[in-house]
Structure 1
């Protein structure tokens, strides 16, 4: 089989849930505050994956306005019971501090591309739920599995893994809820998945938090209610004792069998850069081959440290991975506005208030709240999936004053972003200005500061905005495209070289294990006057760059 380099889903694609139906493989990953909710990728060979759908795409299913950074949709579980697809997910409304408001839902569909049902509310007792279909008893029972959160047990608030029967007909939990597994001394047990194999129930969990102590832990029992014994090695996958391994933060996994009987573990991992070990691309999805021993225990081949390369049924299309993408936009507004599949926005299901697309392939952003708002901001972006890249766009925007701005952003959350804006002085003179969250600087904070001096530009005409990232170095540039063909025009640098590694999990402004997304690049518009000023973007270019200093991508 071909040797394939991890990760198989680069960039922000954490908490993978994997499923095979016939010859088709699917992976569902968390999207947190990014809308629509849940990414489902498809593959026929485990090596090449295409984004297929985002099923939580309407207001009746998901409304995340007010959800803090790194809240929203956590840890989906995608399964199939032989007749239909099931998707379980959490919408987190609060995560910091003693309390967690974690609402768990189930949706289902006959086809993977939908239409997906309106959500069935299940419970709010914890997060990371999964749905297990147990058809070995002939009854086809379903069980809801999730971790329990106990706010009284600080600092040990992860109270164990609970199992309760789920009645699909009534859409309710029935019978007793039992705490079946407390985890190991690594603590923070979460992310449960149940399987049945050769008379055993296997419980795969995540432990150690989603930072550098993360791990996959396996346990098993003869009865679904336990007692569960922990794997002799405790953790079947972890990088916690191998600080120089290429794949760090390895954990939160799920298992899948191939038609020819092989078994693979998909899991999240991070690839830190710089001496400060910053994961700019966030938590990504990787894969490892596993094997079952004579005693019925699973072992990761060459594990437990995850391998950067793995044998898969297919070979990855490297040309496609390195291809540039020039995005244009389809005509429409609201539900009919057509963004390229790679793009998402933040929190709101009411898209008609934040963007529309035109018949000639342009994107119109309707200025709303400031960048970093938890409620309604006009920001459309795609994941950063390479450590080095170029991005550029052309914007037509006529701001009246300093409270209106639109432009190009490298964005993680309200705590860390860089933003090259077209704005105006208080006297109406149009200018270019770089903004960034103060968390990008040693003092920290929540304010957005201006960086460097503004550059005056003509009050009329389009402006080309660009950024280049080479590892940890970020440089903005600009040009006035109406003067020449934009493909051949030389850009002018603006501002200093910034530290791009700030746009990372480790600088997300939260406590340890508290920032869960990844770097995006895209366009945004704000109108703090409340007059909904419009900014029109011609197109968007994302060009991966092979950087010789990058040990991961060469």
Structure 2
């Protein structure tokens, strides 16, 4: 590589940031990642040098009606693909509404914007033969690539890659995607092995088809095929471009789902997903989910190859040093805390489940505090009052002060360590019967009860209570300390002393690799409030810390 360089340290976007799609427009690189059931939908990042990334907004219109209510855990928005053509940013993606069945019950959509920061258009429905769509803009024409799913009984859920030309009218020189028409669909490639995530790069008269191979677990990889004709036939490379499946000692595991991009200086790079596993007695587990990494690529005999040789992802990669990088305080998008007291409307990187913040969140009523109105339970696929942040490292400390006066066991508020509705740890202030009395449904008898701090362990086989301790009146400072696969939760007294509640807990359960179902997201820490009776109970939070 000629010219000044600097080192990019992988992952370059840390914490849950899977299925990266990258483009370059002028001096900026733009990146989109999957958001699944989380809002903001389709997080966007930008960088000048591929090493330092900052949030660049989100495609906040991606979910029709701004709602993903009812989608299953790890359903929702999968694998968005960014592109830029005719002066417009395009993004295509699928919303998956069923998991674990032969039908994904998905819709495929297109949104556009004049600027990556928005506003983004309302979603336009496109043909959805399967998830992982992408667009190729070539010689003034637009093509949609898709995974093909044969959902018939006995069919293959991953049954090749198909291509559909889109007729996109122009209005005043701007694509009118509201009038897009789809032409016939044709098969590009089928393989016995599982392939998905198709992306096409055009170089030197070749169409290079990048494929995500082997599923998104430890067998994941990037495979390349090429053709002189867009419609094929495609010749498949005899070695993977990228994978870590043959060596569990490689620091970046699950490496796959890649896309190529060219720097202004001419060098080529690959963005891809990867995970940093924790080693546990149950095997490797990836609490931080699938993250975004970058590799330098060279070309040999007409094929892309990793610059370092072989196919294992490197943890350090040389990139051009462009001098100015990203905004101060936004480097690598990690370890940034909320403004003091959470006294602004929560925005990225704060996240909510299945819908954006609504009237259940109030940042005005009490300056320096954020007020949440309780709604459904931690196991609901519907209206949860939860505000959360991605965990980006295996060591973390989380603290928040909560002020809440529950009068019934149906009301609670506090801190959560979260993966999904079947895997979480919830340390909440709530109400319980007087000590020694059994649970007897006295939800109307708050005057007779006591205020307690309860640690609940959400598990695929059913939740259980790990500990219950009495609380004095007034605000309570709650803390979680995470060290690798273990976490300690508890409260801080007025004397400043830490008191653990319950046993150490197994944070490795908050990972893709735990439980019987498909899981694709990552661990979060956050605050939540529950009111199962009338959705009126509120709690106030202040002094959030994530470090």
- Mapping of 1:329-348 within 5 angstroms? 338-348=345-355
SS of 1:282's equivalent in the other structure is: coil
What residue in structure 2 maps to residue 521 of structure 1?
525
What residue in structure 1 maps to residue 440 of structure 2?
none
Which of 420, 429, 432 aligns to 2:450? It is 429
Task: Confirm or deny that 1:244 pairs with 2:288.
Answer: no
Q: Deviations 1:104-163 (Å, cap 9, x if unpaired)?
A: 00000011111100010002320000011012xxxx100011101112364732111010
Task: Confirm or deny that 1:438 pairs with 2:453.
Answer: no
What residue in structure 2 maps to residue 259 of structure 1?
264
Structure 1: runs of 5+ lacking an equivalent: 332-336, 440-444, 544-554
Task: Confirm or deny that 1:63 pairs with 2:67.
Answer: yes
Instruction: Tell me, in whole angstroms, the C-alpha distance in 2 between the residues paired with 1:73 and 1:525.
Output: 25
Instruction: Tell me, in whole angstroms, the C-alpha distance in 1 between the residues paired with 2:100 and 2:279.
Output: 28
What residue in structure 1 maps to residue 292 of structure 2?
285
CA drift of 1:479 comes to 2.5
In structure 2, relative to structure 1, the CA distance for the partners of 1:361 and 1:133 (3 Å cut) is: farther
What residue in structure 2 maps to residue 164 of structure 1?
164
**TM, length-normalised to structure 1:** 0.88
Q: Retained in 2: the 8 A contact 1:2–1:311?
A: yes
In structure 2, relative to structure 1, the CA distance for the partners of 1:356 and 1:468 (3 Å cut) is: same
SS of 2:382's equivalent in the other structure is: coil
Instruction: Tell me, in whole angstroms, the C-alpha distance in 2 between the residues paired with 1:419 and 1:237.
Output: 38
SS of 1:312's equivalent in the other structure is: strand
What residue in structure 1 maps to residue 438 of structure 2?
none
Instruction: Tell me, in whole angstroms, the C-alpha distance in 2 between the residues paired with 1:148 and 1:37.
Output: 24
SS of 2:249's equivalent in the other structure is: coil
SS of 1:3's equivalent in the other structure is: strand
What residue in structure 1 maps to residue 143 of structure 2?
143
CA RMSD, aligned part only?
Answer: 2.1
Q: Retained in 2: the 8 A contact 1:98–1:154?
A: no
Task: Confirm or deny that 1:219 pairs with 2:249.
Answer: no
**TM, length-normalised to structure 2:** 0.90
Which of 170, 192, 203 aligns to 1:197? It is 203
What residue in structure 2 maps to residue 548 of structure 1?
none
Q: Deviations 1:414-443 (Å, cap 9, x if unpaired)?
A: 11111111001144311000001133xxxx
What residue in structure 1 maps to residue 401 of structure 2?
394
More displaced 10-residue stretch of structure 1: 158-167 or 1-10: 1-10
CA drift of 1:340 comes to 4.1
SS of 1:149's equivalent in the other structure is: coil
Instruction: Tell me, in whole angstroms, the C-alpha distance in 2 between the residues paired with 1:449 and 1:44.
Output: 48
What residue in structure 1 maps to residue 507 of structure 2?
500
Instruction: Tell me, in whole angstroms, the C-alpha distance in 1 between the residues paired with 2:252 and 2:63.
Output: 37
- Mapping of 1:94-113 within 5 angstroms? 94-113=98-117
Instruction: Tell me, in whole angstroms, the C-alpha distance in 1 between the residues paired with 2:39 and 2:341.
Output: 17
What residue in structure 1 maps to residue 57 of structure 2?
53
Instruction: Tell me, in whole angstroms, the C-alpha distance in 1 between the residues paired with 2:284 and 2:254.
Output: 11
CA drift of 1:60 comes to 4.1
CA drift of 1:213 comes to 0.5
- Mapping of 1:171-190 within 5 angstroms? 171-183=179-191, 185=192, 187-190=193-196
More displaced 10-residue stretch of structure 1: 314-323 or 79-88: 314-323
CA drift of 1:326 comes to 4.5
SS of 1:277's equivalent in the other structure is: strand
Instruction: Tell me, in whole angstroms, the C-alpha distance in 1 between the residues paired with 2:407 and 2:117.
Output: 44
Instruction: Tell me, in whole angstroms, the C-alpha distance in 1 between the residues paired with 2:66 and 2:80.
Output: 13
Task: Confirm or deny that 1:12 pairs with 2:42.
Answer: no
Which of 449, 460, 465 aligns to 2:464? It is 449
What residue in structure 1 maps to residue 216 of structure 2?
210
In structure 2, relative to structure 1, the CA distance for the partners of 1:377 and 1:171 (3 Å cut) is: same
In structure 2, relative to structure 1, the CA distance for the partners of 1:29 and 1:340 (3 Å cut) is: same
Instruction: Tell me, in whole angstroms, the C-alpha distance in 2 between the residues paired with 1:532 and 1:110.
Output: 41
Instruction: Tell me, in whole angstroms, the C-alpha distance in 2 between the residues paired with 1:524 and 1:262.
Output: 46
Task: Confirm or deny that 1:354 pairs with 2:360.
Answer: yes
Q: Retained in 2: the 8 A contact 1:164–1:173?
A: no
CA drift of 1:232 comes to 3.0
What residue in structure 1 maps to residue 274 of structure 2?
269
Q: Deviations 1:511-551 (Å, cap 9, x if unpaired)?
A: xxx210000001111111224211111131001xxxxxxxx
Task: Confirm or deny that 1:472 pairs with 2:478.
Answer: no
Which of 21, 24, 44 aligns to 2:28? It is 24
- Mapping of 1:220-235 within 5 angstroms? 220-233=226-239, 235=240
Q: Retained in 2: the 8 A contact 1:28–1:78?
A: yes
Instruction: Tell me, in whole angstroms, the C-alpha distance in 2 between the residues paired with 1:329 and 1:179.
Output: 55
More displaced 10-residue stretch of structure 1: 303-312 or 463-472: 303-312
In structure 2, relative to structure 1, the CA distance for the partners of 1:211 and 1:198 (3 Å cut) is: same
Q: Retained in 2: the 8 A contact 1:327–1:541?
A: no
What residue in structure 1 maps to residue 319 of structure 2?
312
Instruction: Tell me, in whole angstroms, the C-alpha distance in 1 between the residues paired with 2:82 and 2:341.
Output: 30
